[in-house]
Structure 1
Amino acid sequence: MKSFLKIQDLNTNELLNLVDKALEFKSNKNIVPLEKIVANLFFENSTRTKNSFEMAALKLGLKCINFDSATSSLSKGESMFDTCKCFESLGVDALIIRTKDDEIDFSLDIPIINAGSGKNHHPSQSLLDLITIYENFKDLSRLKVAIVGDIAHSRVAKSNKAMFDKLGIKTYFCAPLLYQNKDFIFNDFDEIIDEIDVLIMLRVQNERHEKSDVNNLSMKDFSLNEQRLKRLKDNAIIMHPGPVNWGVEICANLANHEKMRINTQVKNGVFARMAILDYCLRG
């Protein structure tokens, strides 16, 4: 059995095999029940990822234990590692972990699935993004993707960059100075918008900043508005990992535009995570 910690651990074939497996599950094919138990250990808040993993587990016939950090022994000083060892000792077959730490830097005798770690990794989000892109374009070789927004604090940006680099997908990064960092080369949003196939807007992560009003204002010149929407290619798609700060990253009146794939991403998240659980637990 294998862990699923970061995109960097997977080669191109493994990535594409996970896409194929997820699309099989989406077509309701080859779903062989797994009689195992997994635990959702979310040490950071989540709606989409947490419930998506739970739904994926249910669809695979897994039993899923949902851990409540607020009522756990963390309040008594227990470490995250000791909490995880406790669940391993209880007999669960895999742990799904969301943490504020940038890395999950320990191993166990059961698989660990990274459901988002700090500012560095979100491999299951990257996989569902890839599935959504593949469904729309099939041929990945000539695609151009722009990732726009709070790059400095985004684990999605970092995981997606690693994935797109493996697949030979050209990636542009656009952000206000406040959200830039030394790990990326940044482009002018309006200079590249006409040539991109996929636009991924990122949430302003106000919980990681001190002054949310300043942060939201700095995003104004990088938001997706009607003028920029008109400049996108006819077959371009718009994505966002959620939750969306409507009116900040994307104008609220564009929520139901035909180019939007946000709800499709949520739907594909279930099948992506089914593929990940199958990959880690099938043995």
Structure 2
Amino acid sequence: MSSAAQPNGGWIDEHHNGVRYGLEGRVLVEETSSFQRITVIESERYGNGLLLDGCWMTAERQERHYHESLVHPALCSAASIERVLVIGGGDGGTARECLRHAGVQHLDMVEIDGRVVELSQQHLPSIGGGCWSDPRFHLHVGDGIAWAAEAADGSYDVVLVDGSDPAGPAEGLFNRAFFNHCKRILKPGGVFATQSESPEAFRQVHLDTVKLIRELFGHADPLYGWVPMYPSGWWSWTFAASDGPRYRQPLPERAAAIASGCEIWSPRWQRGAFDAVPAFMDRELNG
């Protein structure tokens, strides 16, 4: 879907379907791990950033748009948040936001590429923040799809999928078998969430993902926001629960405990983001 990012006259670009999304800067690291090509860049506008196989993943002054949107609707609404599973998320941002919630007692993060973790710790330390040394945090370098398949029924209160686009090592994060395991390992009152691509740049993937998750869980809805450095800038996260759309109603005490430290997320923003459903999506889901 996207070509390799190449430094070109000071620009590092992601190419997607005839459009390019770029930052002016310089490449700090470019190497190929056992799974993918990893690029770390330095930019004046957004700070240090990360690309995987030529696709933008995150940057120091962009990451809150993504991580707050994925984490807080789930963590503020699940019946309990003692045990959390993060699949992917090697930059540490999702784990960092989860661990801001005092109710989290144990967080497993399963990242397939340990080199992403190492380079993020070295070059983007502000994104993971203190998560790496938090005693509640447990890093597992391995296959998150296998982890979900092997986990016991009802072993997590919240499951968050922070994966890259559905290609390469992340391809298996967008299919029925994987989502079924995510549902199976949730406790009653649990919430599942995944990034679900851009409704503009990845329209069909987005449609298929939301409809499949809704079919499996019974209750699922996309939340729409923006990550300006991603293709089209318009992004989505999909939330699901088996006992009703609890993810739409943040618990006031949890929300109050973390809201002052958020740049993007708030209960008011969340209400608008869930309601900002484009007409084509409303017809597909509810027509």
- TM-score normalised over the length of structure 1: 0.41
Structure 1 or 2: more strand by fraction: 2
Structure 1 or 2: more helix by fraction: 1
- Does 1 or 2 have the higher relative contact order (CA < 8 Å, sep 6+)? 1
